[in-house]
Chains A and B, each alone.
Chain A
Amino acid sequence: MNELVEKIGQCVERGKVNKSSPYPNDMKGMDGADEFTRQALEAAVGPDAILQVCNEGMQRIGARFSRNEVFVPELLMAAKAMHAVMVHLEPFFKTGSIRAKGKFVLGTVAGDLHDIGKNLVRMVIEGNGWEVIDLGVDVKPAKFLEAIKNTPGCVVGLSALLTTTMVGMSKTVQEIKAQFPATNVIVGGAPLTMEAALKMGADGYSPDPQGAVAFLDKVSVANITQ
């Protein structure tokens, strides 16, 4: 049974979605995350054990990404394999038998239509066990505020790719902090730096998805210990 669970983690790390997926080349024709998860659940493996091994698989591929051993396409394939597992685990989330680490409200700020970076962050964060509420692109401050109101205890992530939209990002952070001072906000995107993030009042900044995961995990632990 342990072997089955380990295989799920390996499939997530390698981005092997299902048997018909030709990726990766050396696993062609083999079962993938989809089949192994079904088999594991049929063998009465607990969904929490499956989720745990998937998160570990995502952490391994994320660490390799940070070391430039793999690149964005591999990370996206891993996230896709993770999604195949999550389809099977969704009923357990609904019944509450397993829970996400927390809720993350994410969006690209008003005036900015870039979504690739934001989508990458979403998939990696989901893969690391968080529920993500993706508000999309060109998100006005009011929409963020409404989502925070409807998602108590959430962490918020703002993305911007243009220096012009950083102004809007700053305004959004300030409005969030004015109405929900306890809400943690992390920002990311090409024109940003930690200095700019702190200046606009954000709690964190990350240039990559792994940094966002590390921030969320840190915030999550802090909330639990409070």
Chain B
Amino acid sequence: MEIEIPQIEREKDTFEVRMSFRDLSVSKNEVIRSLGYPDGTLPVHFEKMIDDILARLSKHCKIQAGYRLLEAKKQEDRNDGLFVGGTFFKLQKIVTSQFRKAEKAALFVCTIGPSMETWAKKLSVEGDVALSYLVDTVASVTVEQATDVLHDHIEKQMDMRGLKITNRYSPGYCDWLVSEQHLLFSFLPVNFCGITLTESAFMVPIKSVSGIIGVGKAVKRVDYTCDICGMKDCTYRAFRIAKAEHSKYKS
């Protein structure tokens, strides 16, 4: 039986999701593919290193996640963004088309905390650069998966209200300017989920994800359309290709 992840309402329509490491299942295959290796080509040595990192991962993860629900409205005559909580978010067509029928938006954040980046930095300083790189990659896969769990959680919560959700989008991706991160964070409580933002829109801890999910009776969560985006060097594109291949492999 699937266990429901608890959430608490910290402020009106602002929820902290009490996710733990046990809610994740970080896959070695996903780590390997995000490193770029086709199936079966990862040198044994690195595979052992990844196994060792995964064995220690739970001790290095302090997952915190949350979201705020706000009214959302897209103006019929413009495709360059939408109003969230009465404020205009400048988004590209790739994103706004998904929000056409959204009534609300969930602004979310998720982090695995600073421990993995501290570990990777220490290894790098000690000269163990390959292991450091692998720790960083495992951390990226982990925070992405924690965000998947948060996304699914929001979907279940909205389903209970008779609402559906869209895909998620983050500043810096799908042509959404990373500087809009400041706008997104302005709607969240200060230091929400332990995440702060630098002047240059950099999240601290580094292994954090923020973004927006559309909510409404007539919106859909669909496959990502990476092929229509011009951003070729994108972490999400790599993750999604890895995930699609992993699903094929499992089936």
A59-95 interface with B by 8 A CB criterion: 68, 71-74, 76-77, 79-80, 83
Q: Does B233 contact A (CB under 8 A)?
A: yes
Nearest CB of chain B from residue A148's CB, rounded to whole Å: 23
B177 contacts which chain A residues (CB < 8 A)?
A: 163-164
Whether a CB of chain B sits under 8 angstroms from the CB of A123 is yes
With A and B bound together, what is the CA distance between A188 and B132 in angstroms?
Answer: 21
Closest beta carbon of chain B to A84's beta carbon, Å: 10
> B233 — nearest CB in chain A belongs to which residue?
A190
Interface centre among B177, B201, B202, by most chain A C-beta atoms within 10 angstroms, is: B202
Residues of A within 8 Å of B37, CB to CB, are 71
Report yes or no: B134 in contact with A162, Cβ–Cβ below 8 A.
Answer: no
Contact B129 A164 (CB under 8 A): no
CB distance from B186 to the nearest CB of A (A): 16
Find out whether the CB atom of B202 lies under 8 angstroms from the CB atom of A68: no
Q: Is the CB of A80 within 8 A of B202?
A: no
Scan residues 76-113 of chain B and give those whose CB is less than 8 A from a CB of chain A. Answer: none
Whether B133 contacts A163 by the Cβ 8 Å rule is no
Chain A residue at minimal CB-CB distance from B48: A22
With CB as the reference atom, state the residue of chain A lying closest to B41. Answer: A71
What 1/0 flags go to B15-37 for Cβ under 8 Å of A?
00000000000000000000111
A28 to B127, CA, bound (A): 20
Cross-chain contact A119 with B43 (CB below 8 angstroms): no
A169 to chain B, nearest CB (A): 11
Residue of A nearest to B176 (CB): A163
Chain A 14-26 interface mask (CB, 8 Å, partner B; 1/0): 0100000011110
- Assembly CA distance A190 to B232 (angstroms): 9
CB contacts (< 8 Å) of A123 on chain B: these are 129
Nearest CB to that of B206 among chain A residues? Answer: A113
B172-193 toward A: CB 8 Å interface, digit per residue (1/0)?
Answer: 1000011100000000000000
Residue of B whose beta carbon sits closest to that of A74: B43
Q: For A25, what are the chain B residues with a Cβ–Cβ distance below 8 Å?
A: 43-45
Choice from A15, A76, A168 contacting B200 with Cβ under 8 Å? A168
| Binary A-proximity of B27-63 (CB < 8 A = 1, otherwise 0) | 0000000011100000111100000000000000000
Contacting residues, chain B, for A162 (C-beta < 8 A): 172, 178, 200-202
| Contact status of A79 and B233, CB under 8 A, knowing A23-B45, A25-B43, A73-B134 | no
Contact B200 A111 (CB under 8 A): yes
Closest to A80 in B: B129
Q: Which residues of B contact A207 (CB under 8 A)?
A: 233
B130 contacts chain A at the CB level, 8 A cutoff: yes
Whether a CB of chain A sits under 8 angstroms from the CB of B124 is: yes
Residue picked from A24, A112, A116, most chain B C-beta under 10 Å: A116
Q: Mark A164-189, 1 if CB is under 8 A from B, else 0.
A: 11001000000000000000000000
Shortest CB distance B51–A (Å): 14
A103 to chain B, nearest CB (A): 22
- Give 23 pairs: A residue, B residue, CB < 8 Å, sorted on A: A24-B43, A24-B45, A71-B35, A71-B36, A72-B35, A72-B133, A73-B46, A76-B129, A111-B198, A112-B202, A113-B204, A114-B206, A116-B133, A119-B124, A120-B133, A162-B200, A162-B202, A163-B172, A163-B179, A164-B179, A164-B200, A164-B201, A207-B233
Binding site for B on A (CB under 8 A): 15, 22-25, 68, 71-74, 76-77, 79-80, 83, 110-116, 119-120, 123, 162-165, 168, 190, 207
Supplied contacts A123-B129, A163-B178, 11 more A-B pairs, CB within 8 Å: A25-B44, A71-B35, A73-B133, A77-B130, A80-B127, A80-B129, A113-B204, A119-B129, A162-B202, A163-B177, A163-B179
